[in-house]
């Protein structure tokens, strides 16, 4: 384990070093062009001015518009209404100010890009250019209770000069008269202080109690939270980075109302399913659209590290998502990475080490119990007992196969971020490593990433924004699940006999199926999967976006951007010749995905008078998607030395395969926001998408939306009281779409093949068995009504939303008569509805020396199929585990999507066989007796986060859960009913099975003749309450370790998934072996989710 971590650290340092050198060089060049060395004085900057009898404020605005200088002054000391006259052509700013100084009692002092204005009667003609920062200022930063604030940032605006306060809240730095100090600290409102002639400054920071003034990112823009007209949830950096995860969406689980994050399995780097307000589509995906720093990303954002995220916004209603048109039906997740800020350069480093273990082991039979159960089966089937009493007495506990495949496994996560800048250029550069070994031996997931964000003002009208993320992913899979009778790794670890052991006396693998005559040959020694199979996937992901913004006038912005997403994947799978009955099998599959994006938008933001505010956006986007693939394989190798790197050495080469897919999306979009007096807020948007996927007459889809918000609390009739400080009503409507088909689904396709004529092999092309259809978009219409309220000056903020989503023109496969020559076609044939209600509350319960913040949310969603083709049912989720082969789920009009469908049990017969209910009363048990036996859709999901701070200590606890959902436990079918095959089983099968003395047992008679069907026996309650994270952190005082060199230091210990309350009998209730579409809630020998203990350290300097 230690060698693995050391190896990963060495690889990280080598990969990251090169990236840092390149990106630091680029950033240094930009900074050098705008740094202090290039700053110009008043005498060097030339301007032309033509003002006659104008106010002083007009003069200041003109100079600021034509130069990079900003005027600073005290409002109560300078009369901005006094009149001046200046007519100068191509004169220095120094000369122009000298003219103003002769007409007024003002003096001017340049401090970097600031011009400090003072009133000095009798001391005119005073202009100082390029004055140095020569005043030593001592200060102290405290809170409203007089307590010092250590670690607060103090910097001189427009410069890289800054510092942080010590443990007593004290600081000192050099600044010039007229300079502006920016004092800030997390959780407090920042203060701007203009330096006059004082050398001592005391600063009192007030807690930032109001979350309504925070800026929230929305599609193609940002608004204050108080001005939102749609339904948007925001998750901040501290919550996202609370504990290490392989996918940032895991950190979102339970933190946003109406967002269900489902971890399909516990394998390192395993897939994540996200559902926003339910499931919309049958044929297409139900994942939201992910937009990373403005780039619509394809698939799950596995390329990002939690540490790099500034915020995540989840757009839920149609007014928020319609701006993304045909990709907004399932919701939109906007991910904003950390950006540089003007001020002192900061370096933040974080590292953590976690130990993972399996949450719980299954309580299986020991050696003696297993042997006795086999003898029971033999007796019930009139066979000779397999074991004598002496043998039974000698088996004891036997071998624990779970201990063989499960291990303690580490996670190492390290991140470094450097950020800062001046008023021209801001930058943020980071490098990170995430390495996770799996709790099943041999499995792992490693991610190396380098991220750069640069924002550079080329001039006062042109700005460049550059975002770049480079990621390398590598994972070794050991999550072979599913199967039956121990023919998968996880199945074999449960089913292998405890009276067996993994090795023969000579050290070779024991062949479990040959050890005893009653054991099925299907049972494979799990060491075959762990040691003799490799399945490695490597990916290189590039996400780059470059944008230029041009402001021809103050209120108008033209933004032109282009970007690329590129993903190169390679999968190498090899089965050695030591694997049971294997001649050596190898396969290599590669794929490349490339997406090119071009966007041009024009935005206009204007405040008219004091009551009218207009924000308008118009744009054009083009995105191209290209996927290519290549695969090859081989069977039969003389040696395992080459693995997948010499397919030509195979005795039987496989037939190579290749693929190509290209699609284009062309879009026009527009949006208008209007606010009257801050009380009445209107939003209207429209997007038109043209997709190459659809039929010629249906290529274009049109997606309008509208929203209205009324801030009731600003009305004159609203009572002025200390209880209710804010109230806003929201209503919205809109249409969004979904591209639920592959790029060529509407075309006649030919499939290649081979045939023999006259003993000769010929290549062929033949029509596909799928009849192309005249298809149109899936369209989701959504209505949302919301209420936002703030209490006690917004110390408590409450949000409620009620929504109805109707999805029509569902795309689905329809069977055709065989006489047509086609077997299936795709048609727009159905409709689905989701409706629900969401609540969330954010409260600052206590403030002061002891702070307590609470955030909670709960969401209820009801899903039903409204219509299907000719009202016909659609059966799904077929399983074949030998004992049972049947469908598990059904789509039926009027019922929820993916509901479990099967037989209801009715106790046992007099011989111990399972009896099923004859629901249709025809005297036989057949498909007409099937009914609804469970629902994987939860009644509600919820999350609660509590954070307490006292002095340097912080204690946080995050609870997340689901209630009312069922799980179909496919694993329990062979593991509890497949008698006579020598499979190990849960201990309760041994102690609670049918006998004459125990006719009401949980399990039937132990006999090969026992038959089973898909029934409610295998449906279990999947509700759970999980303590997702419990953390204790300590902020290290700087005086303890002579800490003048660092800004902040924190150590913490946390526990993830340590406490889970559930009635589910198997490993973990958070499982979806087949994903979270129409086959949600199925557990089929899945890789279990671990619990972990984490120790970490955060350092800022």
For residues 197 and 232, the answer to whether their CB atoms sit within 8 Å is no
The reported pLDDT for the residue numbered 332 is 92
For 854-867, how does the pLDDT look when each residue is reduced to its tens digit (9 = 90+)? 999 999 999 999 99
- Is residue 387's pLDDT more than 80? yes
Q: How many helices (H) and strands (E) would you count in the chain?
A: 12, 58
The Cα 171–Cα 139 span in angstroms is 5
Question: End of a domain among 128, 143, 164?
Answer: 128
Positive or negative, the Cα torsion across 755, 760, 762, 767? negative
For 639-657, how does the pLDDT look when each residue is reduced to its tens digit (9 = 90+)? 999 999 999 999 999 999 9
Question: End of a domain among 128, 154, 178?
Answer: 128
* Token pair in block for residue 951: 């002095």
φ/ψ of residue 82, rounded to 5: -65, 145
The full 3-state SS of 92-128, as one line of letters, equals EHHHHHHHHHHHCCEEEEEECCEEEEEECCCCCCEEE
Residue 27 binned pLDDT confidence (cut-offs 50, 70, 90): very low
Residue 784 binned pLDDT confidence (cut-offs 50, 70, 90): very high
For 6-24, how does the pLDDT look when each residue is reduced to its tens digit (9 = 90+)? 454 444 444 444 444 444 4
Question: End of a domain among 146, 170, 204?
Answer: 204
Residue 186 binned pLDDT confidence (cut-offs 50, 70, 90): low
For residue 168, the domain's CATH number is 2.60.40.1120
φ/ψ of residue 22, rounded to 5: -65, -45
Residue 486 binned pLDDT confidence (cut-offs 50, 70, 90): confident
Residue 187 binned pLDDT confidence (cut-offs 50, 70, 90): low
Q: Is residue 93 part of a domain?
A: yes
Q: What domain count does the chain have?
A: 2
- Is residue 589's pLDDT more than 60? yes
Q: What is the mean pLDDT of residues 483-495?
A: 90
* Token pair in block for residue 211: 């979350």
More confident residue, 908 or 101: 908
φ/ψ of residue 108, rounded to 5: -130, 135
- Is residue 90's pLDDT more than 70? yes
**Pair (101, 159) in one structural domain:** no
Please give the helix or strand (H or E) that residue 392 lies within, else none. Answer: helix 389-395
The reported pLDDT for the residue numbered 25 is 44
Q: Is residue 186 part of a domain?
A: yes
For residues 645 and 577, the answer to whether their CB atoms sit within 8 Å is no
* Cα–Cα distances in angstroms (integers) from residue 656 to residues 35, 309, 954, in the given order: 57, 41, 58
The reported pLDDT for the residue numbered 361 is 94
Q: Is residue 80 part of a domain?
A: yes
Tell me what the pLDDT averaged over the chain comes to: 87
DSSP for residue 893: B
- Is residue 629's pLDDT more than 70? yes
Tokens 């989710």 found at = 1089
3-state helix, strand, coil in the chain (%, to 5): 15, 50, 35
Our CA angle for 294, 296, 302, nearest 5°, is: 100
For 956-1015, how does the pLDDT look when each residue is reduced to its tens digit (9 = 90+)? 999 999 999 999 999 999 999 999 999 999 999 999 999 999 999 999 999 999 999 999
Q: Is residue 94 part of a domain?
A: yes
The Cα 176–Cα 178 span in angstroms is 6
**Pair (124, 139) in one structural domain:** no
More confident residue, 145 or 232: 232
Q: Is residue 589 part of a domain?
A: no
The reported pLDDT for the residue numbered 18 is 47
Lowest-pLDDT range of 144-148, 599-603, 931-935: 144-148
Lowest-pLDDT range of 132-136, 175-179, 242-246, 701-705: 132-136
The Cα 669–Cα 942 span in angstroms is 35
For residue 77, the domain's CATH number is 3.55.50.30
Please give the helix or strand (H or E) that residue 96 lies within, else none. Answer: helix 93-103
506 CB contacts (<8 Å, ≥6 apart)? none
- Predicted TM-score (pTM) of the model is 0.84
The order of strands in the sheet holding 126-128 is 70-72, 114-119, 106-111, 126-128
More confident residue, 1069 or 80: 1069
For residues 245 and 272, the answer to whether their CB atoms sit within 8 Å is no
For 1028-1044, how does the pLDDT look when each residue is reduced to its tens digit (9 = 90+)? 999 999 988 877 766 56
**Pair (53, 122) in one structural domain:** yes
Please give the helix or strand (H or E) that residue 1096 lies within, else none. Answer: strand 1090-1100
* Token pair in block for residue 1073: 């072996």
Nearest to 344 by CA among 208, 113, 181: 181
**Which residues in 206-237 are b (16+ Cβ under 10 Å) and which e?**
ebebbbbeeebbbbbeebebbbbbbbbbbbeb
**Pair (111, 167) in one structural domain:** no
Q: Is residue 730 part of a domain?
A: no
Q: Is residue 232 part of a domain?
A: no
Lowest-pLDDT range of 541-555, 566-580, 736-750, 1085-1099: 736-750
**Pair (98, 144) in one structural domain:** no
**Pair (121, 168) in one structural domain:** no
Q: What is the mean pLDDT of residues 607-619?
A: 89
In percent, how much of the chain has pLDDT > 70? 92
Q: Is residue 65 part of a domain?
A: yes
The reported pLDDT for the residue numbered 206 is 77
DSSP for residue 608: E
Domain membership of residue 55 as a residue range? 42-128
């Amino acid at each position: 384990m230690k060698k693995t971590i050391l190896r990963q650290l060495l690889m990280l340092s080598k990969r990251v070093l090169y990236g840092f050198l390149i990106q630091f060089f680029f950033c240094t060049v930009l900074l050098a062009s705008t740094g202090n060395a290039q700053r110009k004085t008043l005498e060097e900057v030339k301007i032309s001015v033509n003002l006659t009898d104008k106010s002083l404020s007009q003069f200041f605005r003109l100079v600021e518009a034509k130069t990079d200088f900003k005027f600073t002054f005290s409002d109560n000391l300078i009369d901005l209404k006094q009149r001046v006259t200046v007519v100068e052509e191509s004169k220095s700013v120094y000369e122009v100010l000298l003219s103003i100084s002769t007409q007024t009692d003002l003096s001017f002092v340049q401090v970097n890009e600031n011009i400090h204005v003072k009133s000095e009667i009798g001391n005119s003609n005073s202009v100082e250019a390029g004055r140095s920062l020569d005043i030593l200022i001592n200060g102290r930063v405290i809170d409203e209770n007089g307590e010092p604030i250590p670690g607060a940032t103090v910097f001189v605006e427009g410069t890289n000069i800054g510092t942080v306060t010590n443990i007593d809240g004290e600081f000192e730095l050099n600044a010039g008269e007229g300079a502006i100090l920016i004092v800030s600290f997390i959780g407090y409102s920042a203060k701007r202080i203009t330096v006059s002639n004082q050398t001592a400054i005391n600063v009192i920071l007030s807690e930032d109690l109001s979350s309504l003034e925070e800026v929230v990112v929305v599609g193609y823009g940002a608004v204050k939270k108080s001005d939102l007209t749609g339904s948007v949830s925001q998750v901040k950096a501290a919550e996202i980075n609370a504990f290490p995860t392989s996918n940032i969406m895991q950190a979102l689980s339970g933190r946003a109302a109406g967002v269900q994050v489902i971890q399909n399995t516990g394998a390192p780097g395993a897939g994540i399913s996200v559902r926003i307000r339910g499931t919309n589509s049958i044929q297409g995906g139900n994942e939201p659209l992910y937009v990373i720093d403005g780039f619509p990303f394809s698939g799950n954002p596995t390329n990002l590290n939690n540490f790099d995220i500034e915020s995540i916004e989840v757009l839920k209603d149609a007014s928020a998502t319609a701006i993304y048109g045909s990709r907004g039906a399932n919701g939109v997740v906007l991910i904003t990475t950390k950006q540089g800020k003007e001020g002192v350069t900061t370096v933040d480093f974080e590292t953590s080490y976690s130990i993972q273990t399996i949450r719980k082991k299954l309580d299986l039979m020991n050696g003696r119990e297993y042997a006795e159960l086999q003898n029971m089966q033999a007796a019930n089937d009139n066979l000779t007992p397999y074991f004598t009493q002496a043998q039974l007495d000698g088996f004891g506990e036997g071998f624990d196969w779970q201990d063989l495949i499960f291990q303690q496994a580490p996670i190492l996560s390290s991140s470094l971020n450097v950020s800062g800048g001046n008023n021209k250029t801001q930058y943020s550069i980071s490098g990170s490593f995430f390495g996770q070994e799996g709790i099943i031996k041999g499995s792992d997931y490693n991610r190396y990433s380098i991220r750069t964000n640069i924002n550079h003002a080329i001039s006062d009208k042109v700005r460049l924004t550059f975002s770049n993320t480079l990621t390398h992913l590598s994972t070794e899979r050991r999550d072979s699940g599913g199967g039956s009778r121990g023919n998968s790794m996880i199945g074999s670890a449960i089913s292998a006999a405890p009276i067996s052991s993994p090795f023969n006396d000579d050290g070779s693998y024991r062949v479990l199926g040959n050890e005893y005559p009653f054991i099925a040959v299907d049972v494979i020694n799990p060491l075959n999967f762990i040691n003799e199979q490799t399945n490695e996937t490597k990916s290189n992901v590039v996400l780059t976006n470059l944008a230029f913004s041009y402001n021809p006038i103050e209120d108008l912005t033209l933004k032109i951007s282009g970007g690329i997403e590129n993903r190169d994947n390679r999968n190498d799978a090899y089965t050695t010749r030591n694997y049971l009955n294997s001649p050596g099998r190898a396969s290599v599959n590669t794929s490349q995905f490339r997406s090119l994006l071009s966007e041009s938008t024009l935005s206009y933001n204007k405040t008219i008078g004091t009551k009218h505010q207009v924000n308008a956006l118009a744009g054009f986007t083009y995105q191209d998607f290209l996927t290519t693939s290549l695969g090859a394989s081989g069977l039969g190798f003389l040696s395992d030395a080459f693995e997948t790197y010499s397919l030509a050495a195979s005795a039987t080469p496989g037939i190579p395969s290749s693929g190509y897919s290209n699609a284009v999306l062309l879009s026009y979009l527009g949006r208008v926001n209007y606010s009257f007096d801050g009380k009445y807020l209107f939003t209207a948007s429209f997007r038109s998408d043209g997709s190459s996927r659809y039929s010629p007459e249906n290529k274009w889809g049109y997606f309008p939306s509208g929203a209205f918000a009324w801030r009731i609390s600003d009305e004159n009739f609203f009572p002025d009281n200390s209880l209710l400080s804010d109230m806003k009503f929201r209503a919205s409507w809109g249409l969004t779409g979904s591209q639920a088909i592959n790029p060529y689904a509407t075309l006649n396709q030919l499939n290649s093949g081979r045939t023999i004529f006259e003993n000769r092999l010929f290549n062929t092309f033949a029509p596909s068995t799928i009849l192309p259809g005249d298809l149109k978009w899936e369209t989701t219409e959504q209505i949302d009504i919301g209420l936002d309220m703030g209490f006690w000056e917004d110390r408590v903020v409450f949000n409620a939303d009620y929504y109805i989503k109707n999805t029509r023109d569902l795309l689905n496969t329809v069977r055709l008569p065989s006489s047509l020559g086609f077997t299936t076609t795709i048609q727009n044939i159905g409709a689905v509805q989701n409706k629900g209600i969401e609540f969330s509350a954010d409260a600052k319960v206590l403030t002061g020396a002891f702070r307590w913040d609470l955030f909670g949310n709960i969401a209820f969603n009801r899903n039903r199929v409204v219509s299907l083709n000719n009202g016909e049912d659609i059966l799904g989720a077929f399983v074949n585990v030998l004992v049972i082969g049947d469908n598990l789920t059904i789509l039926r009009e009027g019922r929820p999507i993916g509901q479990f469908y099967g037989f209801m049990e009715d106790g046992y017969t007099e011989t111990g066989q399972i009896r099923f209910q004859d629901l249709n009363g025809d005297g036989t048990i057949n498909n007409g007796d099937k009914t609804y036996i469970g629902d994987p859709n939860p009644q509600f999901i919820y999350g609660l986060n509590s954070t307490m701070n006292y002095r340097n200590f912080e204690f946080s606890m995050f609870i997340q859960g689901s209630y009312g959902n069922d799980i179909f436990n496919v694993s329990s079918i062979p593991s509890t009913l497949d008698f006579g095959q020598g499979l190990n089983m849960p201990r309760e099968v041994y102690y609670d099975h049918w006998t004459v003395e125990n006719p009401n047992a949980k399990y039937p008679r132990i006999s090969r003749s026992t038959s089973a069907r898909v029934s409610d026996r295998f449906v279990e309650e999947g509700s759970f309450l999980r303590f997702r994270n419990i953390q204790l952190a300590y902020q290290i005082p700087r005086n303890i370790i002579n800490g003048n060199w660092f800004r902040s230091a924190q150590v913490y210990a946390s526990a993830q998934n340590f406490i889970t309350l559930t009635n589910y009998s198997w490993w973990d209730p958070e499982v979806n072996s087949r994903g979270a579409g129409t086959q949600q809630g199925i557990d089929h020998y899945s890789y279990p989710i671990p619990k972990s203990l984490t120790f970490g350290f955060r350092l800022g300097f």
